[in-house]
Amino acid sequence: MKIAFITRSTLYKVPGGDTIQVLQLADHFKRSGVETSVLLTDEEIDYPQYDLFHVSNITRPSDILFHISQTKKPFVLSPILIDYSEYDRRYRKGISGLVLRIFPPGLTEYIKTVARWLTGKDVLRSKDYIWKGQRNSIREILKKVTRLLPGSEKEYQRLKELYAVENNYSVVPNGVDTSLFCPDEKITKDDKLVLCAARIEGLKNQLNLIKALNNTEYKLVLLGASAPNQKKYFDECRSIAAENIIFLDQVSQEVLTGYYKKAKVHVLPSWFETCGLSSLEAAAMGCNVVITDKGFTREYFGDDAFYCEPDDPDSILNAIKEASRSPVRKELQQKILKHYTWQHAADITLTACKNILSA
């Protein structure tokens, strides 16, 4: 069996949660004896040499349309459905914010995709996308792929609701690398140390987080680089930050574990998350996690997280105070280390691939 992951052209230049997902799954496939390649969507691909293809990021359908039209080999899809509409509508500034508030979500994503292509920030492999549009492109992909691999049951139901398409699916939850992210009981947690490990951008909502913690008793460490097209947002975050706010660039996962070991709280007050990989990693290492319920997070964290409202700095601060004062949620830690690992995700994905090929 020979499998190729086809993923966005900026996978390595602009790393994100999907970068970790693809590389982790590919690594576990290789360990299981499967010939596995990770290919970028702008590469020329020798389709006949592969038995099956894995694609991801349904909110970037132009990347996928081209490849599913080039071969009749089976495709599986990890949707990674992200909804930017609430953030775009309420907080994106400037001319782009005005435009995105006027038009419906499908059209705004279309505008953003075409803009990235016209400005040379991304590659548009499928010119069919221009006349099909965002919604019809996504519907076509959802119909054509052999199997969907959503990260949660809620994600699949949301896809059905938005695009009125049903297909075979297997839930493949996101995970952690247990060789890196495991508890260290020898280190005492610092109740006043708060982490946020995420790319700095409007969707992740670090600006309101900074407003919540400015000049408080807490030290906030922001671990992440600025999103490439949101330098003004990054600059605004830095300009309002008090002395107790520390900015570090993106660090390796090995370095990140050192911060997780020391901090009592990890916070990700996002406007939308499929789950929040850094929240999973932090919880696996004994941090209490502060999140929002925007997206599919409750299916992962249930009542074991501390929830806040992303538009309310007071709500964010109160959730952080509660998380800081509360005992570590050991039940969540154990659940993650048992059910939310990349090994578990790879096993489910590989089983789905084998079933497709055997059929």
Task: Give tens-digit pLDDT for 230-276.
Answer: 899 999 999 999 999 999 988 888 899 999 999 999 999 999 999 99
**pLDDT at residue 99, rounded to an integer:** 57
pLDDT band, residue 103 (cuts 50/70/90): low
Structure token pair of residue 144: 């054509």
Is 357 exposed, middle or buried, given 0-12, 13-18 or 19+ CB atoms closer than 10 A?
middle
Is 119 exposed, middle or buried, given 0-12, 13-18 or 19+ CB atoms closer than 10 A?
exposed
* Mean pLDDT on 87-109: 63
Instruction: Say if residue 105's pLDDT is above 70.
Output: no
161 half-sphere exposure, CB direction, 13 A CA radius: 7
Average pLDDT over the chain, rounded to an integer: 91
What's the DSSP call for residue 25? H
- Rounded Cα distance, 291 and 319, in Å: 9
- Rounded Cα distance, 75 and 91, in Å: 36
For residue 190, count other CB atoms closer than 10 A to its CB. 15
Q: How many helices (H) and strands (E) does the chain have?
A: 15, 11
pLDDT band, residue 315 (cuts 50/70/90): very high
Residues 6+ apart with CB under 8 A from 275: 151, 152, 173, 174, 295, 296, 297, 299, 300
- Rounded Cα distance, 58 and 76, in Å: 12
**pLDDT at residue 318, rounded to an integer:** 98
Instruction: Say if residue 215's pLDDT is above 60.
Output: yes
**For residue range 28-83, what is the model confidence (pLDDT) as tens digits?**
999 999 999 999 998 999 999 999 999 999 988 988 999 999 999 999 999 999 98
pTM, entire model: 0.90
pLDDT band, residue 102 (cuts 50/70/90): low
Instruction: Say if residue 224's pLDDT is above 90.
Output: yes
